[in-house]
Amino acid sequence: MKETVLITGASGGIAKVLSAKLKENYSIRFLTRKKRAENEFEWNLENQTIDEKAFENVNHIIHLAGANISEKRWSEERKKELISSRINSAKLIFETLKKNNQTIQSFISASGINYYGTETTEKIFSENDPPGNDFLSEVVIAWENSANQFYTENIAERVVKIRTAVVLSEKEGALPKISAPIKLGIGSPIGSGKQYVPWIHIDDICGIYEYTLKNNELHGVYNATSPEHTTNENLTKLIAEILKKPLWMPNVPEFMLKLIFGELSTILLKGSRASSNKIQKLGYQFKFPNLKMALEDLLKNNKKVL
């Protein structure tokens, strides 16, 4: 009999691709706001309600739910939502399992590469480095703490936290936003262009989730970022090269981005590098370790990944 995996964040791009990867070997269920299929179960974070049938005979939970960091300006209300959407969702799952005296084999949680802070430095961060001291690192610390309780309270036999870089996919996220003006001939790097952009192909982030799910000896935290590092300027130039579009516009000025996006602009104007050596040494092999190869797969080959 197949083991059962319950996935939150069902409407997100990672959940869609990951579930397609897993469905052959696992029975897949989703927690979602609106039930549309037999394997979907409703929950409501505002009301703290959940369909407890979702947890019947569940072996593993992959927790991907959380409000989009870059979707809106960071008002104080939005900041609270970014944190609560991650913490309260995990808390609701935890309390439901605890109430029913139910344990699971694995709780695998999304996390953010911004754990190390949003600064442009020459340091390459590893999982042993301390957190940063800005808003995004605060979000990630709380996010990971909400996952840790599953292990410390003996609800899950193991907890895995995936510190995710910028996910490159054709349909959603950063790549369509960057490539859209380039396709129109008005693309350009932003700010200095020297800020690092930690990145990962959609197939590889899903591959890492699948790898940690299948290998029960893996636990703790892992950086999910491709081995090759890049800057915003290099990323922009490579996209333009693959799309065969000129880059003639000057860099988008830093002050303009700050006016438009406020504090949110920090994730556009700053960025560090992180190492994925830990997950690689444990056996994960990146399908797209090279940025040009990844971009060609998503743009030149018109691959429909989502």
pLDDT of residue 301: 60
Locate 127 and state its tokens: 């999982």
Confidence label for 304 from pLDDT (cuts 50, 70 and 90): very low
Instruction: Transcribe 148-211 into DSSP letters.
Output: HHHHHTTSEEEEEEEEE-EEE-SSSBHHHHHHHHHHTT----BTTS-SB--EEEHHHHHHHHHH
Q: Are strands 60-63 and 3-7 parallel, antiparallel or unpaired?
A: parallel
Spatial CB neighbours of 95, under 8 Å, sequence gap ≥ 6: none
| Average confidence (pLDDT) over 160-184 | 92
Provide the pLDDT for residue 306.
34
Angstrom distance (rounded) from CA 26 to CA 137: 33
Read off the pLDDT of each residue in 22-40 and give the average, rounded to a whole number.
94
Average pLDDT of the segment spanning 186-206: 95
Read off the pLDDT of residues 232-269 as tens digits, 9 standing for 90 and up. Answer: 999 999 999 999 999 988 899 888 888 888 888 888 88
At 256, the amino acid letter reads M
Query: Could you tell me which of 131, 94, 133, 93 has the C-alpha nearest to residue 111?
Result: 131
pTM for the whole structure = 0.94
Q: How confident is the model at residue 10 (pLDDT cuts 50, 70, 90)?
A: confident
Beta strand extents in the chain (DSSP E only):
3-7, 26-32, 40-44, 49-50, 60-63, 104-112, 124-125, 156-164, 166-168, 199-201, 220-224, 273-274
Domains identified in the chain and CATH numbers: 3-300 (3.40.50.720)
pLDDT at residue 74 tops 70: yes
Please state the rounded mean pLDDT for residues 30-56: 93
Band (pLDDT 50/70/90 cuts) for residue 302 is low
